[in-house]
Amino acid sequence: MKNLANTLAGVMLVVILGACSQQELDEPAAAATSESAEEFVARANVELAELSREMGAAEWVRSTYITQDTAVIAAAASEKYAKWHGGMVQQALAYDGQELSPETQRAIDLLKLGTSLPTPNDAAKRKELTLIATELEGMYGAGQYCRNGDDCISGSDLEGLMQTTRDYDELEDLWTGWREITPPMRDKYQRYVELVNEGAGELGYGDLGEMWRAGFDMSPAEFEGEASRLWEQVKPLYEELHCAVRAKLGDHYGEDIVPQDAPIPAHILGNMWAQEWGAIYDIMEPYPGVSDLDVDSTLETKDFSPQEMVRSAENFYVSLGMDRLPDTFWERSQFSKPQDREVVCHASAWGLDGGNDLRIKMCIKQTYDELRTIYHELGHNYYQAAYKDQPPLFQGSAHSGFHEAIGDTVTLSMTPNYLKEVGLVASAEESEQAVINRQMQMALDKIAFLPFGKLIDEWRWGVFSGAIKPENYNQAWWDMRTKYQGIAPPNDRSEATFDPGAKYHIPGNVSYTRYFLARILQFQFQRALCETAGHEGDLASCSVYGSKEAGNKFFAMMQSGQSEPWQDALEKLTGTREMDATAIIDYFAPLMGYLKEQNEGRSCGW
């Protein structure tokens, strides 16, 4: 029945997309100067709502049913949107220099930035780019590592093995094997860069990186400086964590394998991309056995189904005064990996039909890590539900980091007391040693991630601007990863490979700066919510579970979507207009003290 349903959905999309004549697809839209700016924006909102419905359906089918046919459908939908968007931007230029209301001017500005994939105003190139983008994502989603010809392991299964395997050579084999999917991406990616830069240029930007940085209510240069400022605030904590992790890995594998004055081998940090290190907590645990939050065992012992795990997350948001998810969410979401077809397992939240059709797409497993991911993904859904009554051009995140930060903020309230209250752990012990253990566990994910979150787009900014040449893609990638993360590949990596393509967001064309900013904002949000909830005590012990007051303030910020500058939205919740990482430093103060003590006498840095 699932195959039939997806096939019928694909057929319907072909019918819908076929409703446009070839002439309509090939010819740029004529300027509509007879309309007032307000009338133009109103028309754009109506047309965008319909196009988004069509494109969302096509993308959903493509992600949950990877075939050549769904690739054609998704590419056609993207091409149709790209043609519409390019034409509307050309029309919008007619209003440049006019005195417009702030709301109308913002709508037009957002329209110009309304794609992460700007296509050239040429039918053939537009079609070529949308097809390349679809192919790249499909190559990642269907990627496997096949040993001995027939022993094939999917990407999601490889991720699981990287988390649990401790054998150095086996980890290197898995790490290297996954990257075998990337060489065919290299030429396609190079052509993709050429085409998106041409499209960005036609919209008035120097390249796609400049266009992405323009979406933060400040100039691209100012935003680049802002990202650097935030990194400098948190860098000392990361450096102390890196030093302690390298020392423990040296003890585990031997200092001949993990030298104490060099970058850490990238494949032994418990993650396929060394982006989060929580899977090696067993090696890093400061005080073994003290307040071990073994949520995994509870999930397995009580045999939580994927839907029950999602219900747990939903209950948290409901406790804040938000509505339950609609019935269609439970009917249409992908909770488990189907056995009969290839899908994209990478977790994502979908607000289809203008936020009236909420879904998540995951391949859920019974782990605490997956549970936290679910809490995070529902944050997207509740944000989508909050701003669904805004005009389509304002249905989005205040800035992209806000969308990621909503759910991340909620995960900070998954404290031992909360987990005990909802029956996920038996004990909520909070001795000083227990606090250090819990903070180490969190820091291995949240703090270890920070430089990775920053460098992904910084690498792309260099690629888009031409500072990083195609013949230097891989070298620049590893230079940057060593500079920021202090890691190095386990073996020689030549330009015959394309290691950036082993991370979904590169072939998937998803900007990554949002994740870096979300790691900053979640602590800032949490501090404000805890103050609203009347929490007394240190920030790390606060859970706002059950606080309607905090929930009301949180939801009020979300409702504005992107109808106003992010500084205004931030001020509604926090009382400040500037992103600030001091809440991270405050939150992890106990761990920072422990790390400095442990690192005394060690040679830190790389």
Active site residues: 346-347, 376-377, 380, 404, 505, 515
Residues paired with 357 in a beta bridge: 352
3-class SS of residue 337: coil
Looking at residue 136, its amino acid is L
Cα(29)–Cα(85) distance, rounded to whole angstroms? 9
First to last CA, the chain: 55
> Tokens 């030429």 sit at which residue?
187
**Helix crossing, 183-202 with 449-465: angle to 10°?**
70
Q: How far is residue 235 from each of residues 232, 275, 433, 548, measured CA to CA in Å? A: 5, 15, 24, 35
Q: Rounded to the nearest 5°, which phi and psi values hold at 255?
A: -70, -15
Q: Rounded to the nearest 5°, which phi and psi values hold at 145?
A: -110, 120
Cα(162)–Cα(587) distance, rounded to whole angstroms? 29
Please say whether the beta carbons of 69 and 11 come within 8 A.
no
Helix (H), strand (E), coil (C) string for 92-113: HHHHCCCCCCHHHHHHHHHHHC
Please say whether the beta carbons of 78 and 37 come within 8 A.
no
Q: Rounded to the nearest 5°, which phi and psi values hold at 358?
A: -90, 140
CB burial of residue 521 (10 Å; 0-12, 13-18, 19+): buried
Please say whether the beta carbons of 183 and 190 come within 8 A.
no
Please say whether the beta carbons of 485 and 455 come within 8 A.
yes
| Structure tokens that stand for 296 in this block | 């995994």
Q: Rounded to the nearest 5°, which phi and psi values hold at 312?
A: -60, -45
Please say whether the beta carbons of 119 and 126 come within 8 A.
yes
Cα(95)–Cα(605) distance, rounded to whole angstroms? 53
| Secondary structure percentages of the chain, helix, strand, coil, to 5 | 65, 5, 35
Cα(264)–Cα(269) distance, rounded to whole angstroms? 8
Question: Max alpha carbon distance in the chain (Å)?
Answer: 74
